[in-house]
Amino acid sequence: MQRLAEPQYRRNPITGWWVVVAPDRSAKPESVEREQPLKTPIADCPFCEGKEAETPLESFVVRPHGPPNGPGWQVRFVRNRFPIVRANLSVDGNVIANLQEGISAPTLSFPGHDEWLPGWGIHEVVVESPRHLGTIIDEPPLHAETLALAYRDRLRLLAKEPNVISATLFHNSGRGGGASQEHVHSQLVGTPFIPPLLQLELDGAERFHAKHGVDPWGAMIDDERKDGRRVVLETENYLAWCPWAGRVAYETWLAPKQRKARFEDSTDAEAREFGAVLRTLIERIERLLGPAFNYYLHSAPFGTNSQAFRWHLEFTPRLAGIAGWELGTNMFINTVPPEDAAAKLRET
């Protein structure tokens, strides 16, 4: 494979963001450091089976046997004790409408710097295993399928909550990924507005669809399958690839081949296959790069069915921090060309 010999500016066709693919920067020592796994003593872990009394009550659970809020579960959703947003705030419809308008609008419409709105929302922890494990790949492969079904089913229920417009599912792994507990877990945040980045993708997808007649993820999937250099893996219903304008080294996207705007609309078979692919990607990323990464699910707002948008999952390994260039320009530096990154992930 011909290697990228010079830096390039590359543009994300959906968000319009530019990145710098800078292979010369990969020689910096800090860009190849491997993080040591996060270690939390079992005695201090509130997520292990048998310690259910140390967490808030379950909001959703996959439980083959046993009493509610007791042992016998496979996946648990509980309220986050250190929430980003809180569901116990008193808000009325006018406040929710103002919140949606203020945050989802292209620019904030608050009239003054001291204006504020209540931080209402639903924030849950998804305990992904009853065992004290640092990664889902230490569970049998079928457990990842159970987890994927749990993700989907909880989103279906959250869609029925009054005032919840959108939900963001995300996973922090390792200290570098923002995790504070070793025990493998994800988080789910439901908000009464569309988060700005998701709104940017929705708007960009509409523009792309209006110009080309297809959704941008479908166009990318077709192009990546023909090109092949950035494809990481392909299954019957999914493609995973390192995007052309990935913001960080080894950034990987996963999307369904058939357009579906909301992840919660996945069938059982589709969700199970997604879980298997997710597990494979985690295994390859952890084996090649170490335990510090994030992934997050972008799904269309509840109750919408855009022809331009397609749900997708984004992996962002955390091999280096952001510094003055990124903060001063809002442009990321990708030190590993996506073509090289995909080749290494295919081989892993």
pLDDT of residue 119: 84
Task: Give yes or no for residue 337 having a pLDDT over 90.
Answer: yes
Residues 93-115: tens digit of each pLDDT: 665 666 556 555 444 444 555 56
- What is the token pair recorded at 180? 């504070």
What's the length of the chain?
A: 348
Q: What is the mean pLDDT of the chain?
A: 90
Cα–Cα dist 190/282, whole Å: 25
Which DSSP helix (H) or strand (E) runs through 220? Answer: helix 216-227
Q: What is the mean pLDDT of residues 255-265?
A: 97
Least confident range of 124-128, 134-138, 161-165: 161-165
Four-way CATH pick for 47-106+113-348: 3.30.428.10, 3.40.50.1370, 1.20.1530.20, 3.20.20.10: 3.30.428.10
Cα–Cα dist 231/1, whole Å: 14
Cα–Cα dist 74/37, whole Å: 23
Task: Give yes or no for residue 32 having a pLDDT over 50.
Answer: no
Spacing of C-alpha 71 from chain mean position: 28
Closest CA to 169 of 150, 141, 192: 150
Residues 175-224: tens digit of each pLDDT: 888 888 899 999 999 998 899 999 999 999 999 999 999 999 999 999 99
pLDDT of residue 107: 42
Closest CA to 297 of 160, 195, 215: 195
Cα–Cα dist 199/202, whole Å: 5
**Would you kindly state where each structural domain of the chain is located, as residue ranges?**
47-106+113-348
Cα–Cα dist 122/101, whole Å: 19
Number of CB atoms found within 10 A of residue 95's CB: 16
pLDDT of residue 147: 98
Residues 8-26: tens digit of each pLDDT: 999 999 999 999 999 886 6
pTM above 0.85, yes or no: yes
31 pLDDT band, cuts 50/70/90, is very low
Cα–Cα dist 64/58, whole Å: 15
Residue pair 5/194 in contact (Cβ under 8 Å)? The answer is no
Segments in 121-215 forming alpha helices (H): 141-158, 196-212
Q: What is the mean pLDDT of residues 242-253?
A: 97
Give the type of residue at 235. T
Residue pair 148/275 in contact (Cβ under 8 Å)? The answer is yes
258 pLDDT band, cuts 50/70/90, is very high
Cα–Cα dist 340/343, whole Å: 5
pLDDT of residue 320: 84
